[in-house]
């Protein structure tokens, strides 16, 4: 980024100290940073002892062939044993692992002892279907307990899973089945979405007609909706309840090498074919277990944890399945959307189960801001004690709203930065240690090394912006891109020598705290200045009439790019108000300086989002530049783009 970078114009003065009571009993104190600094590998070796190893590792990191890392390579363990059996053996078999809440209101609470039986039966069923250690299993399921059980069953027998989000099309599913060369697909007849059953099995049937999927020999089908006749391929399709129910409840887990593949998870990215991110066993489980313990301060005996992500995303893998269950947590699993059947559904669930730790995404927080403060106010949210955010930069105003209206102005908010590739949380405050700043992920966790560099790979001074890089290997790092080592090198390790390039813009403030500024592809160039989309969006969201904003740079003959903003107004604000656009432009000018004033501002009803809730600025850029839209397949709802395009002629 150029020296004229505007990356430090947004000033945020608010500070929130950790609650004294939480700090006094916190799982992790400031000492952890010192300890990790003095002996980083020793620190991770100690965290690895959180797990039960059949053969304890004597080696911590093998970095003899960078950037191909091996962690704890001579250790052996079983992930499912660590997430399930050992809690039963430790006398916690009666503790609830999962409180499942179906969208239609059906519920199921599963204890660790029950989970052990279910996972063992499912593992035995996979073995009966001929699944062997190392075979890949594709999982295409709604948010039901069988998704967690299926993942753990695969881990138990050493068959790497590849989850494909249930909202993806047959095409997307076929591409991923092909790339991973999956042998079995686990799916369901359907799931519930927005009050209606929605079929899944037809997409599997269609995907399996595509070339490259011929090696799939079995399709295991969970009956979830039971609504309609399900097309059936004899000899290939098997009902879950028929094969799993008749299995033995006993299965002896085998220990695998620490570097045995645990899962492949595809990230879409903006261009090219999806990348199959490969994670392995010992290092991954060490980091997700430690970070879940440290960042959320989980007390397994008393806390009720709820991560609202879908298991099909990395957040679900690491903080619904492997982190919480390795720590013996009690957690909520919710099938549906936040506004079905009403906009208070989440808060009703928090009240019902006494949720103490909530982990969600900025997109959901901004939707709740838009729906109004009065909705969460109707529920008893007093059980909450830690709130987390992940997925996008959280605008300071959304952060403050979250703390105030969900956390009663009392709970710490931890903004956690990480990626599918990093496997676990990397940059985040610690709730009992860090004085938090709205909008900043702040500091690398103990044992993690992150910094911000300029174009020439020089570390920037405090108060400047550049690119986020990770400077030391970490236990839950991706090991490669499945089947494509060269692409692993090119994508992450070629931009800066010996440093992992995350693809995100970032700045360090005067205290050295890190602020994430969005994907580098989204940074705008206006009259020679680099301007971060995140900062202009945050300035807009800090206006009391705006709930959510997406900003893009559109080609402009005078200024290279011109800032174009799409805004969602808060409930009750009149979009036709003649003075509104000028009022918002003036507000951004005041917050960030005149150069950051958007040239155009368009109030819209919705923004284009990926299925994991990230704003797709690329499509908005197409609109702002009057181009035909690019690939919309990862969009949640493509009608959103028609509505936005219909608005455009009115802009000026
Ligand atoms: C966990 C997850 C990764 C990208 C990442 C960044 C953005 C995630 C963030 C954040 C700012 C945060 N991102 N957390 N940006 N602050 N706290 O979301 O993984 O789906 O792979 O996305 O998400 O741009 O590079 P993934």
pLDDT digits (tens, 9 = 90+) for 383-413: 999 999 999 999 999 999 999 999 999 999 9
Among the atoms of ligand 1, which is closest to the Cα of residue 416? Answer: 17
Name the residue with higher pLDDT: 7 or 642: 642
- pLDDT at 119 > cutoff 70: yes
- pLDDT at 10 > cutoff 70: no
State both tokens at 610: 């990926």
pLDDT band for position 9 (cuts 50, 70, 90): low
239 annotated binding-site participant:
no
CA 8/CA 497 separation, integer angstroms: 26
Among the atoms of ligand 1, which is closest to the Cα of residue 389? Answer: 17
SS3 string, 45-83, reads HHHHCCCCCCECCCCCEEEEECCEEEECCCCEECHHHHH
Q: What is the pLDDT of residue 650?
A: 42
Q: What is the pLDDT of residue 651?
A: 40
Q: What is the pLDDT of residue 20?
A: 97
- pLDDT at 268 > cutoff 80: no
State both tokens at 479: 């090991």
Mean pLDDT of 55-82: 98
Q: What is the pLDDT of residue 6?
A: 45
| Distance, CA of 447 to chain centre | 21
Beta partners for residue 564, in sequence order: 552, 600
Q: Which residues line ligand 1 (CB under 6 A)?
A: 267, 313-315, 390-393, 415-420, 441, 502-504, 516, 519, 612
Considering only the C-alpha atoms of the chain, give the largest distance between any 2 of them, rounded to a whole number of Å. 72
- pLDDT at 80 > cutoff 50: yes
373 annotated binding-site participant:
no
Render pLDDT for 457-508 as a digit per residue (tens, 0 to 9): 999 999 999 999 999 999 999 999 999 999 999 999 999 999 999 999 999 9
Among the atoms of ligand 1, which is closest to the Cα of residue 427? Answer: 17
Mean pLDDT of 343-364: 97
CA torsion sign for 218, 222, 223, 229 is negative
Q: What is the pLDDT of residue 269?
A: 59
Among the atoms of ligand 1, which is closest to the Cα of residue 614? Answer: 23
Average pLDDT of every residue of the chain:
94
- pLDDT at 556 > cutoff 60: yes
pLDDT band for position 630 (cuts 50, 70, 90): confident
Per DSSP, the residues of 584-646 read HHHHHHHHH-GGGS-SEEEE-S---BBTTS-B-HHHHHHHHTTPPP---TTBS-THHHHHHHH
| Distance, CA of 148 to chain centre | 16
Mean pLDDT of 446-455: 97
pLDDT band for position 3 (cuts 50, 70, 90): very low
193 annotated binding-site participant:
yes
- pLDDT at 513 > cutoff 90: yes
Q: What is the pLDDT of residue 270?
A: 54
Mean pLDDT of 135-160: 98
User: 609, 635 in Cβ contact below 8 A?
Assistant: yes
CA 447/CA 214 separation, integer angstroms: 44
Render pLDDT for 410-429 as a digit per residue (tens, 0 to 9): 999 999 999 999 999 999 99
416 annotated binding-site participant:
yes
Residue nearest to atom 26 of ligand 1 (CA): 419
Q: Ligand 1: which of 360, 417, 421, 426 to mutate, most ligand atoms within 8 Å of CB?
A: 417
Q: What is the pLDDT of residue 652?
A: 36
Beta partners for residue 525, in sequence order: 530
CA 107/CA 144 separation, integer angstroms: 10
Q: What is the pLDDT of residue 4?
A: 42
Q: What's the pTM?
A: 0.94
CA 523/CA 295 separation, integer angstroms: 29
Render pLDDT for 305-324 as a digit per residue (tens, 0 to 9): 999 999 999 999 999 999 99
- Cα 315 to averaged position of ligand 1 atoms, centre (Å): 10
Tokens 């991110």 label which residue?
277
- Cα 417 to averaged position of ligand 1 atoms, centre (Å): 6
485 annotated binding-site participant:
no
Q: Ligand 1: which of 363, 388, 504, 616 to mutate, most ligand atoms within 8 Å of CB?
A: 504
Q: Ligand 1: which of 311, 390, 518 to mutate, most ligand atoms within 8 Å of CB?
A: 390
415 annotated binding-site participant:
yes
The region of weakest confidence among 150-159, 201-210, 298-307, 574-583 is 574-583
Mean pLDDT of 36-45: 98
Among the atoms of ligand 1, which is closest to the Cα of residue 267? Answer: 21
469 annotated binding-site participant:
no
CA 460/CA 507 separation, integer angstroms: 8
Residue nearest to atom 22 of ligand 1 (CA): 419
Residue nearest to atom 8 of ligand 1 (CA): 391
Number of H helices and number of E strands within the chain? 22, 30
């Amino acid at each position: 980024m150029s020296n004229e970078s505007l990356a430090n114009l947004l000033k945020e003065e608010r500070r929130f100290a950790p609650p004294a009571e939480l700090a006094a009993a916190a799982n992790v104190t400031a000492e952890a940073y010192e300890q990790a600094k003095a002996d980083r590998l020793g620190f991770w070796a100690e965290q690895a002892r959180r797990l039960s190893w059949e053969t304890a590792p004597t080696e911590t990191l093998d970095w003899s062939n960078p950037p191909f890392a091996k962690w704890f390579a001579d250790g052996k363990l079983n992930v499912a044993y660590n997430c399930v059996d050992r809690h039963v053996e430790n006398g916690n078999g009666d503790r609830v692992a999962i409180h499942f809440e179906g969208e239609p209101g059906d519920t199921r609470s599963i204890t660790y002892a029950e989970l052990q039986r279910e996972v063992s039966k499912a593992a035995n069923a996979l073995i009966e279907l001929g699944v062997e250690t190392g075979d890949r299993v594709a999982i295409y399921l709604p948010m039901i307990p069988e998704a967690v059980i299926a993942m753990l069953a695969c881990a138990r027998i050493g068959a790497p899973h590849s989850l494909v989000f249930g909202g993806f099309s047959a095409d997307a599913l076929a591409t991923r089945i092909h790339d991973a060369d999956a042998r079995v697909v686990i799916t369901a007849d359907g799931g519930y979405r927005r009050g209606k059953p929605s079929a899944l099995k037809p997409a599997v049937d269609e995907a399996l007609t595509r070339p490259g999927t011929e090696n799939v020999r079995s399709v295991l089908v969970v009956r979830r909706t039971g609504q309609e006749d399900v097309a059936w391929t004899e000899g290939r399709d098997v009902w879950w309840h028929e094969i799993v129910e008749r299995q033995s409840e006993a299965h002896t887990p085998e220990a695998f090498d620490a570097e045995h593949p645990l899962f492949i998870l595809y990230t879409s990215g903006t261009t090219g074919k999806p990348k199959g991110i490969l994670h392995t066993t010992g290092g991954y489980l060490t980091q997700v277990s430690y970070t879940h313990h440290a960042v959320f301060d989980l007390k397994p005996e008393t806390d009720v944890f709820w991560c609202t992500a879908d298991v099909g995303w990395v957040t679900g893998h690491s903080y619904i399945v492997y982190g919480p269950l390795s720590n013996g947590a009690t957690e909520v699993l919710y099938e549906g959307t936040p506004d079905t059947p009403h906009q208070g559904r989440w808060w009703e669930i928090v009240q019902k189960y006494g949720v103490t730790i909530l982990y969600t995404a900025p997109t959901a927080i901004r939707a709740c801001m838009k729906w109004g403060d009065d909705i969460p106010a109707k529920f008893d949210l007093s059980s909450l004690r830690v709130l987390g955010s992940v997925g996008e930069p959280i605008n300071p105003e959304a952060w403050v709203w979250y703390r105030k209206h969900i956390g009663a102005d009392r709970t710490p908010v931890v903004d956690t930065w990480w990626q599918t590739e990093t496997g676990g949380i990397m940059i985040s405050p610690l709730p009992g240690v860090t004085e938090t700043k709205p909008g900043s992920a702040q500091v690398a966790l103990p044992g993690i090394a992150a910094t911000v560099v300029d174009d020439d790979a020089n570390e920037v001074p405090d108060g400047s912006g550049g690119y986020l890089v990770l400077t030391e290997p970490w236990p839950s790092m991706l090991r490669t891109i499945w089947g494509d080592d060269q692409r692993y090198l090119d994508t992450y390790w070629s931009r800066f020598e010996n440093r992992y390039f995350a693809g995100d813009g970032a700045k360090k403030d005067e205290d050295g705290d890190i602020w994430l500024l969005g994907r580098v592809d989204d940074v705008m160039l206006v009259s020679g200045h680099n301007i971060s989309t995140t900062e202009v969006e945050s300035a807009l969201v800090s206006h009391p009439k705006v709930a959510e904003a997406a900003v893009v740079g559109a080609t402009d003959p005078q200024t290279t790019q011109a800032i174009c903003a799409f805004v969602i107004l808060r409930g009750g604000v009149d979009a036709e108000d003649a003075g509104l656009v000028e009022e918002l432009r003036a507000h951004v000018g005041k917050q960030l300086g005149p150069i950051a004033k958007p040239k155009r501002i368009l109030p819209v009803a919705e923004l284009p989002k990926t299925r994991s809730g990230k704003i797709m600025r690329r499509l908005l850029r197409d609109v702002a530049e009057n181009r035909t839209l690019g690939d919309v397949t990862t969009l949640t709802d493509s009608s959103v783009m028609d509505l936005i395009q219909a608005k455009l002629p009115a802009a000026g």
